[in-house]
Amino acid sequence: MHECEVCGNDYDKPLEITVRGETHYFDSFECAIHALAPRCEHCECKIIGHGIEADGVFYCCAHCASKAGVAGVHDRV
């Protein structure tokens, strides 16, 4: 049994996720996302999908990247 790092639930079937060599345990994808998903630098929402990375900074979409001054990004082509 491992305790979920977010909610503290002791669960017999935890998700075991290793990120950059560090192992984390969660009882659900929801808790894993809450703990591990990066935040958009512009709007601060959790980035669940691919998002955009520019100069080491993460954005949830081209709109937010553009608002933060990143040139040449578009949601649609």
What is residue 31's predicted lDDT score, i.e. its pLDDT? 97
H or E element at residue 17: strand 15-19
What are the tens digits of pLDDT across the range 31-40?
999 999 999 9
pLDDT reading at 74 higher than 90: no
Q: Could you tell me the residue ranges of all domains in the chain?
A: 1-36, 38-77
pLDDT reading at 77 higher than 80: no
Q: What is the pTM of this model?
A: 0.79
User: Which DSSP letter does residue 39 get?
Assistant: B
Tokens of 68: 């933060």
Q: How far apart are CA 34 and CA 5, in angstroms?
A: 10
Q: How far apart are CA 3 and CA 25, in angstroms?
A: 7
